[in-house]
Amino acid sequence: MTIEGRSLVFLGTPVAAATVLEHLLASGFVIDHVVTQPDAKRGRGSALSPSPVKEVAQRHNIPVGHDLTWIQQNAERGLFGIVVAYGRIIPTSVLNVVPMINIHFSLLPRWRGAAPVERALMAGDAITGVCIMDIEPTLDTGAVYARREVAITHLSTAQSLTEELADAGADLLVETLRDGLGVPIPQGDGSTHAAKITREELRIDWTQSAIDIHRRIRAVRAYSEIDGMRLRILEAEVAVGEPGQPGLLLSDGTVGTGQGSLQLRVVQPEGKSAMDVDSWLRGRAASASSVFTL
């Protein structure tokens, strides 16, 4: 099955993109070629591993490339590109000869950029979603063919929300391709920029409110330091009761913040596996500090 008689090419790399590719194939669409990022170290060890998208393509015997050479060489065949988290900017020279659409994980024009899921969580948005949009040389500014909302709850994390958005985007893409793209609608005003998460933003500032810190923990690989060691906070919740001193760790795993307190649930000490906070507290030395670095 093709769209308007054109051959489909798919460009994507991570798990979310692989979810969309799997859904397309299961729905009967034929993908002639896949472009993804080169094999890389993905986890512990030195061995190179294919991207999740490449793994799907190989299982379905779809030719795979790591750059745009094949697309450029075959543009005269009437190709149509579907892009999901490819990881690189597609140059204008390619867009001029091969029309492409993109699944973006936000309700454009809100959160254009590299980290729309994380930024929506950190901002405390109640709703996000997916958009199927034209690709333009400028970042995430293309007109939108279709959109679908997805709710954000207090339990949503970057991983769980990305999974929901990938599923919603895959369903919406199949519907849109089957029904026909139609005429896209310009995004309009009110854009916000979803800048790439910086290393500095991973560090918890205990002078912030418990709500803001909780959002950060759900959005990124947040950490703090205590006893000169890093401690990743994997799961936590806003605590009830009297607020504590910012950074002060109590015996039950509650930490004071600039406004309210945070109850730690799952942590990962530097160089160790994840564990519940009670296990971590029991394993600490009697002389261990009770204050996180602010």
**Domain residues of the chain, as ranges?**
7-194, 199-282
**How far does the chain reach from its first CA to its final CA, in angstroms?**
57
How confident is the prediction along the chain (294 residues), in pLDDT tens digits per residue?
Answer: 346 678 999 999 999 999 999 999 999 999 999 999 999 987 666 789 999 999 999 999 999 999 999 999 999 999 999 999 998 999 999 999 999 999 999 999 999 999 999 999 999 999 999 999 999 988 899 999 999 999 999 999 999 999 999 999 999 999 999 999 999 999 989 999 999 999 999 999 999 999 999 999 999 999 999 999 999 999 999 998 888 899 999 999 999 999 999 999 999 999 999 999 999 999 998 889 899 998
Third-level CATH fold of 199-282? Methionyl-tRNA Fmet Formyltransferase; Chain A, domain 2 (3.10.25)
- Dig out the tokens for 190 from the structure: 């009110």
pLDDT, residue 196, reads 96
Phi, psi of 241 (to 5 degrees): 105, -170
**Global confidence as pTM:** 0.94
* Per-residue model confidence (pLDDT) at position 112: 97
| 280-292 burial: b if 16+ Cβ within 10 Å, else e | bbeeeeeeeeeeb
- Give the pLDDT score at 3: 60
Q: Two tokens at 242?
A: 């009297």
Beta-sheet pairing, 100-104 with 127-134:
antiparallel
Q: Which fold has domain 7-194?
A: Rossmann fold (3.40.50)
Domain 7-194 and domain 199-282, same fold? Reply is: no
Rounded distance between C-alpha atoms, residue 191 and residue 207, angstroms: 29
β-pair type (127-134, 144-151) = antiparallel
Q: Strand 127-134 and strand 79-84: pairing?
A: unpaired
The one-character DSSP state at 18 is H
